[in-house]
Structure 1
C-alpha cells in the first residue's frame, strides 16, 4: 500500500487537552476559544465533566435546546450556531458568516481522536446502490494488501451491514454513524493496527455533515438514482448531497464516478474545488487504449452463476488487469471496478486477490440452498434502479440454462418513505416473470396502502399481493419449478421488520430456509 502523508507534528497526546483556538486556528471565538477540554459530544446525555458540548441544528430539533442538561453534566464549553445568553459557561457561536458549527465540531472530533483519517488510507463510498458491496470489496483488497506484506490481514469497515475496527465486528445501527462515533471508530482502527478502512457515506450523513473532519484518500460515487426524496425533496438535492463527498478529499486524491450513470455525471457540476477526476464504466463499442475517452474501462465481461470475469483497460497504454470475482451480474462488475480503482495504491496483486477471495456479501444476491431444484437469492434491492439491476444481473444466467426457467420476484416497499418511487418499483418488478408484492417495513403506514402503490405500476396479470411476508415467501417458493430462480428483495441482511413502531424478528434468509424445509428440502 502506498505510504500516507504524515500527520502534522504535535507535542500533545491524542485526546488533548485542546482548545477551540488551537484546533480551528481562529482568534474570533472569545473566551470560549481558550477553554481546554479532552472530550466532545453532540449528545447532551453523553457529556462528561470538563467536556465540550456541540448544540447542533437538526431537521426537527436543535441541540442547543439541551444546553442546560449538558451544563448540569459538567460541560465546560458549548459550540453552537445561536447565542445562549443564559448559559453560564462560555459559548462559541458559529453564525453563517463565521463558519458552520457542524464543520467545526467535525474538526474537533478529528483532533480529539488523534487525527486518525490522516494515519489511514480511508476510502469513502456514496451512491444510491452498491455502497455496501464496494466497501465489502475494498476491505477484502485491504486485507490482501496486509497479507502480502506479511502483516495481520485486518482492515476497517463501517457501513450498513457491520462495523469492523480490525479487532471486533459488530452489526451496524446506521449506514454512517454520528460524527463523534465515526472518528472514534477510525481511532480504534489505528490503535488495532489497520492501515486502511472503507466507509459508507449515505446522502443523509453527507447532508448532515456526519463525516465532517474526515480526510479521504479516495472517494467513490457509484450511482445516483431516485431514493430518499422524502428527505431530500428532489433528485437535484440528492446529487448535491452526494457531490459533497468531494469536500472530504485530501489534496490530490481521486473522486471516482461511474461514467455509465447519467446522474453521477452531474456530480462534477456541483463541485466547487479542484479534484482529481477518475471515471470508470463499460468500454463503448470500438474503444481502444488510444481513445480520447479516458478513465478505467471494463472489457470482455463474462457472467456465470458462480461469478464474473472481466478485464480493466486504461487510456494511455497502461498494462490491462484481468480480474475475477465470485459476485454475479453486470452491476457487481461495476462495483468491483469501483473498488479496484479506489484501491489502486494497494497494487494489482492485492486488488486481484481481494476481488477473487471476497467473502459473500450478506443479503446481496446471497444464495439460499437446501438442495432445492431451483435457485433462491436474497437481495437488498429496494429502489426501482436496484430492482432493475438485480433482474438484469440474473436474467442472462437464467436464460443460459439448458432447460430455461422462470424468474420469480418478491418485494415490498418501506413505509413512511418516498411514496413516489413505489409505482416505479412496481414497473421495475414487472420485468420478472412472476411478481409477489408483500410487506417490507411498513412502519406507521397501512401495509395495504403501500401494496396498492406498488401494484399500480405492475400489470395485474403479472403480480399478486400477499401482505404477510412469511406467507408471501412461502407462496413464491411453492410456485417455483425446477430450473426457476426466486429473488427475495428489499430487506437483504436485515433481521427485523418494523410494524407500527415495533421491531419484530424477521430475517428473509432464515425464513427462506425454514419455508424450504417445510417443502421437504433439506440440503446444505
Structure 2
C-alpha cells in the first residue's frame, strides 16, 4: 500500500505556464488593475517587472508576483521570504500582511482582498481576455464532465484546435497536464489560457464547480458561453443549504462574466437559474422536462440507438438539429443537447453543426469513468454517480430489458462531506436496484464503518417502509465488494460500480491507496470467465474530487 506520488510544486506550476513570458512593471500593473475596478496601492519601487503570478510560495518561479492570501492558521505573507528566495519579484497582499511582506525586501501591491484581486491581476500579467481561446464553461451538480467532453469533441469535429479543463484531465492543444482540482487556482487558469493561446487553441471547454466560484478560482475569466446542467443535493457541507448552493452557481451567469448562457430548465432550479441570469440566455428543455412549451429549445423524438439514443433539437423559427449519443442514459441526451446548443451559441451555424453531427458522431466520445462499459455480458459499468440524483439516474439508465435481469450496485459515501445524503443514497439504491452492496468510497479521516452504517440505515428504512424486495449487504474493502458483485452476476445482469468513476486513488486516513474501479470490475468479471473490454485510458488520470 503506497501513497500517490506528489509532483514537485514548482514543476507542477511550470506545467501551466506559457513558454513566452510577458513582463509588466508593478506600477503599470497597479494602474491597469485600477481601471478594472481593483484598488491597488504600491509599497516600494514600481519599476520591478512581473512575468507570472503564483499563490503558493513553494511553487514560485523567477519573475513571479507572489499572492499572499490570509489563511485559517497562517497568513501567506509569512512565506514572503521563501517566495523571494525562489525568484519572486513582487508580493500581492492585504493590509494585514503588508508589514510581513515588506520584510522580504520586495515591492508590495496592497489590495483589500487578495482572492478578489488575484484573478484580475493574473489576467493582466498573462494578457488573457475573452477572445482567445473562447471559453465554454459548464456548471451544475451532475453532467459537467460529460458535457465538456461533448463540447470539445463537437468543436474538434468543426475543425477547431481545442482545450479542456476539468476533473479528469487538463488538455492544452495536444499536451495533457494532470488535474489536481476540478478547477485550478485563478493564476494557474490564466497561465493555462495563455499557454493554450500559444498552442493555437481557439476554444476550450471547462468545468466550473461551485467551489471554484466561491473560492474565486474563476475570477478574471470571461466566458463566451456558460451552460447549466441541473441542481441536486451535493456539497451542502460547504454551502449549508440548497439556496446558497444555487447562488454560488448563479454567479457564473452574471453579465460581466458570461456573454451568453444556455440553461437547462427541466425543473424549478433551472427555471430559477434562467430568470436570474444576467447574460443573453437560451433555455433548453430536455428528456425530463414536464412542460417543454416555454423553452427556447426542446428535445424531441428520442429513440433508442444501441446503448444510447437518437434525438432532435427543435428551436426558434422551425430550426431542427438531429443528433445521437452512444452513451447510456437519458441524462446523457440532456448533456449532449446542452453541448450542442452551447457550441451553437458560441457561433457555430446550424448547417455546420448538422454536418459535423452527421459526419463525425462527436457525441459518442468516451468519457473515463462516466457510464464506462468494461464488460457487455454481463454488463459491467463504472460511473461517477456520488449523490442521490446521479445514483438514481445511473441505476435507471443501466437496467436491461431482459425480464430476469438484475441490477447489482456497489457504492459507498464519501467521508467528511455532506452526511445528510448518505441515508438518502441508501434509500435510492434500495428502491432502484435488485442487489445493493454497500462499501467504502473515500473515507478520508472519518471512520468508514460509521459512513457505511448511515447508508445501510437509509436502505433498511426504505425497505421496511415501502415493502421493497431488494437485497442489501455490507462488504469492505471496496475491491472485495466489487469482487462479490461479480461473483453473483449472471450473463443477463448488470453490475454498476458507482461513486468514484475515473479516480485511481482511495484516501484512507491521509494515505492514498491505489484503487481503480474499472480495473477491479474488469478483473473480477474476467476471473469468472466473462469477456471484458480493455481500455488503455484506465489509470491514466486520477483527478481529485471536489
Per the TM superposition, whether the score is higher than 0.5 is yes
* Partner of residue 52, structure 1: 65
Determine the C-alpha separation between the residues in 1 that align with 2:476 and 2:408: 17
Matched-pair contact (CA < 8 Å) for 1:374–1:483: yes
Determine the C-alpha separation between the residues in 2 that align with 1:239 and 1:59: 26
Determine the C-alpha separation between the residues in 1 that align with 2:150 and 2:80: 42
* Partner of residue 381, structure 1: 385
The correspondence for 1:38, drawn from 51, 67, 78, is 51
TM-score (norm 2): 0.83
Cα deviations across residues 276-303 of structure 1 (Å, max 9, x unaligned)?
122112376786xxx5x13210001123
**Which of 1 and 2 has higher RCO (CA within 8 Å, sep 6+)?**
2
Q: Cα offset for 1:441?
A: 1.0
Determine the C-alpha separation between the residues in 1 that align with 2:124 and 2:306: 47
* Partner of residue 473, structure 1: 482
Cα gap change, 1:313 to 1:414, in 2 (>3 Å): same
What secondary structure is seen at the aligned counterpart in 1 of 2:312?
Answer: strand
Length, aligned pairs only: 488
Determine the C-alpha separation between the residues in 2 that align with 1:203 and 1:380: 18
Structure 2: any 5+ residue segments left out of the alignment?
1-19, 464-469, 534-546
Cα deviations across residues 223-276 of structure 1 (Å, max 9, x unaligned)?
11111122222222211111111247557x2222210132233335655xx311
Cα gap change, 1:161 to 1:51, in 2 (>3 Å): closer
* Partner of residue 499, structure 2: 490
* Partner of residue 215, structure 1: 222
Cα gap change, 1:386 to 1:326, in 2 (>3 Å): same
Cα deviations across residues 334-365 of structure 1 (Å, max 9, x unaligned)?
10011011100223233555654542111111
* Partner of residue 9, structure 2: none
Matched-pair contact (CA < 8 Å) for 2:285–2:295: no
The correspondence for 1:231, drawn from 234, 238, 263, is 238
Determine the C-alpha separation between the residues in 2 that align with 1:44 and 1:447: 35
Determine the C-alpha separation between the residues in 2 that align with 1:69 and 1:263: 46
Cα gap change, 1:474 to 1:487, in 2 (>3 Å): same
The correspondence for 2:263, drawn from 257, 261, 274, is 257
* Partner of residue 4, structure 1: none
Q: Cα offset for 1:414?
A: 1.1
* Partner of residue 200, structure 2: 193
What secondary structure is seen at the aligned counterpart in 1 of 2:95?
Answer: coil
Cα gap change, 1:160 to 1:498, in 2 (>3 Å): same
* Partner of residue 280, structure 1: 284
Q: Cα offset for 1:93?
A: 2.7
* Partner of residue 309, structure 1: 310
Structure 1: any 5+ residue segments left out of the alignment?
1-12, 147-152
Matched-pair contact (CA < 8 Å) for 1:258–1:279: yes
* Partner of residue 321, structure 2: 321
* Partner of residue 92, structure 1: 109
Q: Cα offset for 1:54?
A: 1.2
What secondary structure is seen at the aligned counterpart in 1 of 2:301?
Answer: strand
Q: Cα offset for 1:517?
A: 2.1
The correspondence for 1:509, drawn from 518, 521, 529, is 518
Cα deviations across residues 428-472 of structure 1 (Å, max 9, x unaligned)?
111111110011111111111110011111136631110211111
Cα gap change, 1:296 to 1:355, in 2 (>3 Å): farther
Determine the C-alpha separation between the residues in 2 that align with 1:355 and 1:171: 27
- 475-484 or 84-93, larger mean C-alpha shift: 84-93
* Partner of residue 420, structure 1: 420
CA-based RMSD: 2.5
Please say if 1:390 is aligned against 2:401: no
